[in-house]
Amino acid sequence: MVSVHRINSAVKFAATIAASFSLVACFGGSDDAQAPTPPATVATTASASLTEAEASRFLSQATFGPSQADIDELRSMGISAWLQAEFAKPQESMLQDVLAAESAGEEVGDDQLSEAFWSRAILSDDQLRQRVGFALSQIFVASFRDSELGDRPIAMANYMDIISAGALGGFRQTLENVTYSPAMAIYLTYLQNQKADDEGEVVPDENYAREVMQLFTIGLLELEPDGSPRLDSGGNPIETYDNGDVTELAKVFTGLSWASRNRFLGRPQTIESEYLPLVMYEEEHSLEAKSFLNTTIPANTPGNQSIDMALDGLFNHQNTPPFICRQLIQRLVTSNPSRGYVSRVAGVFRSGSFALPDGSTAGNGTRGDMRAVVSAILLDPEARDLSMMSDPAFGKLREPVVRFTHWARAFGVQDTDADDINSIQDTSSPARLNQQAYRSPSVFNFYRPGFVAPGTESAAAGLVAPELQITTGSSITGYANFMEQFILQEASDTNYLPDYSAEIALANDPAALVDRLDIILTYGSLRPETRTRIINAVNSVPGSARYPRDETRVGVAILMVMTSSDYITQR
């Protein structure tokens, strides 16, 4: 009889190999690589009645992962009603979690930030906002991996709420909230940024001025409305700004310091200072005229007004809609959106309004209304057309964080307390997920939106593959090992425990078990050979005193699905 230990080892090895294959399968592999088979029923419009597979696929793009109950709810409501319901839900605050821990006398630190995120991602009913917020956090990056920011969990939790609010708010307001955020000011070093002195010994810090252009609004190159580079008469890309623009814009972000204090320099004096918006100290703000891009701010303009004018200029820049929308499409739907896809969503960014399939409207008609933008991303024909699943240039690698939350949500995890589970407190190691929300190694995120994997077929095809930047031999094995301890319920005796009752009821029918997992996890797209391999592995599980057969069968099946290329590739 084959031991459970050997089965687990074999599954782990198979998982590693399958994950390796996904690097090719996602972005166009060899001639004999078989694309996932789309479900048989194809809805012609987003307003048509959804099949289980279609509902599961939509929720895989719009949430941290569906359960069967989520799938059933979406099918009952329809996409339009589901979106409107998500828009109307109150935001669930991560700051309140951290403040509650502080009030209870706990030593607040990184653990609370991790737990606050996992709790919201896994348990929150506010799924669309939280999921899009995670996508937005990879554009407006502030990371508590930075030691100084990591020492201020209240400021960081407030920032996490700012980003989540921005997911379904107005982009211009989010840009302002980020600018006045203590966390961002710490991270990009413009907190207590002083105007230049007459001797030239003090000059304004340029860090935020550079990144607010390069990363948060307009990017490095001028863009056409469809996101393609704008070219000069010689056929060369045109840079959006130069060092002179950075120097001038840096003057705008002088004079900001903590709220609730009576002097510019020094540490915060109250807890409230760490989450209240920064305040302007006019005596430290540069009153010189400032000219950058196509914006001129006259001399002697007050500090807050100068910031408003600067942010308005960036927000209204022609680059901002395609630059931001393309990245959001990458995070939610596909790494290589077509020019038409980007152009359509960027147009909705400009208009601030999108007609849902039932005739209702998302957005209030104000430029940058994210409800309209998110709806346009998720309901674009390219996002919903099931035939795109067979296009080797369409899709993306699922981010490791989203893979884990999907497992937890799909199988009913109810307790997300991370106190006694070290591996969940920091998942950024390649031996774990190689990614943790709000713990990016730099302001450039975990991976660059334009990352091209060297020496790969995706690179030869002219495709970017952002998530491949953190996909290595170590991280592939680390992910399989990490998921194994949670899927097989070895991580904790009390927390992150799944409810496999519905799956255990199918343990004697491996084909039916795999069919159920195929809907919840891969929206009916498991390839026949993958399905057969998993069924055969499940049939071979013998069980033992330590590993009951039915529970082990379920665990093996889930682990093999979630480490297969069919799952890791989101199409």
Of the candidates 368, 336, 332, 335, the residue with the CA atom closest to the CA atom of residue 353: 368
Distance between CA atoms of 80 and 85, rounded to whole angstroms?
A: 9
- In the block, tokens 């540069």 appear at 286
Distance between CA atoms of 167 and 164, rounded to whole angstroms?
A: 5
Residues 6+ apart with CB under 8 A from 263: none
- Chain-centre distance for alpha carbon 198: 45
Q: Which two tokens stand for residue 30?
A: 């060899």
Distance between CA atoms of 318 and 315, rounded to whole angstroms?
A: 8
User: In this predicted structure, what is the pLDDT of residue 436?
Assistant: 97
Any bridge partners for residue 361, and if so which? 355
Delimit the domains of the chain by residue range. 4-35+395-570, 91-169, 207-315, 320-390
Distance between CA atoms of 93 and 160, rounded to whole angstroms?
A: 9
User: In this predicted structure, what is the pLDDT of residue 430?
Assistant: 97
Distance between CA atoms of 377 and 289, rounded to whole angstroms?
A: 40
pLDDT tens for 102-155 read 899 888 888 889 999 999 999 999 999 999 999 999 999 999 998 889 899 999
User: In this predicted structure, what is the pLDDT of residue 48?
Assistant: 62
User: In this predicted structure, what is the pLDDT of residue 331?
Assistant: 98
SS3 290: strand
- Contact yes or no for 136/280 (Cβ under 8 A): no
- In the block, tokens 């152009």 appear at 343
**Going along 247-380, which residue ranges are E strands?**
256-257, 279-280, 290-292, 295-297, 354-355, 361-362
Q: How many CB atoms lie within 10 A of CB 265?
A: 11
DSSP string, 230-280: PB-TTS-B-BS--HHHHHHHHHHT-SEE-SS-SSSSS--SSTGGGTSPPEE
User: In this predicted structure, what is the pLDDT of residue 107?
Assistant: 84
Report in angstroms the alpha-carbon separations of 443 from 141, 343, 520, 527.
Answer: 5, 26, 34, 38
Distance between CA atoms of 275 and 278, rounded to whole angstroms?
A: 9
Residues 6+ apart with CB under 8 A from 146: 186, 187
pLDDT tens for 12-66 read 434 433 433 333 334 333 333 344 434 333 333 454 699 999 999 999 999 999 9
- The pTM assigned to this predicted structure is 0.92
- Characterize the bridge pairing of strands 354-355 and 295-297: unpaired
Instruction: Walk along the chain (571 residues) and give the pLDDT tens digit of each residue.
Output: 334 443 444 444 344 334 333 333 343 333 333 444 343 333 334 546 999 999 999 999 999 999 999 999 999 999 999 999 999 999 999 999 999 988 998 888 888 899 999 999 999 999 999 999 999 999 999 999 988 898 999 999 999 999 999 999 999 999 999 999 999 999 999 999 999 998 878 999 999 999 999 999 999 999 999 999 999 999 999 999 999 999 999 999 999 999 988 899 999 989 999 999 999 999 999 999 999 998 999 999 999 999 999 999 999 999 999 999 999 999 999 999 999 999 999 999 999 999 999 999 999 999 999 999 999 999 999 999 999 999 999 999 999 999 999 999 999 999 998 877 889 999 999 999 999 999 999 999 999 999 999 999 999 999 999 999 999 999 999 999 999 999 999 998 889 999 999 999 999 999 999 999 999 999 999 999 999 999 999 999 987 767 789 999 999 999 999 999 999 999 9
Report in angstroms the alpha-carbon separations of 187 from 182, 291, 445.
Answer: 9, 25, 13
SS3 380: coil
- Contact yes or no for 409/122 (Cβ under 8 A): yes
**In which element (H, E) is residue 123 found?**
helix 110-123
- Contact yes or no for 470/429 (Cβ under 8 A): no
- In the block, tokens 């393609």 appear at 228
pLDDT tens for 151-199 read 999 999 999 999 999 999 999 999 999 999 999 999 999 999 999 998 8
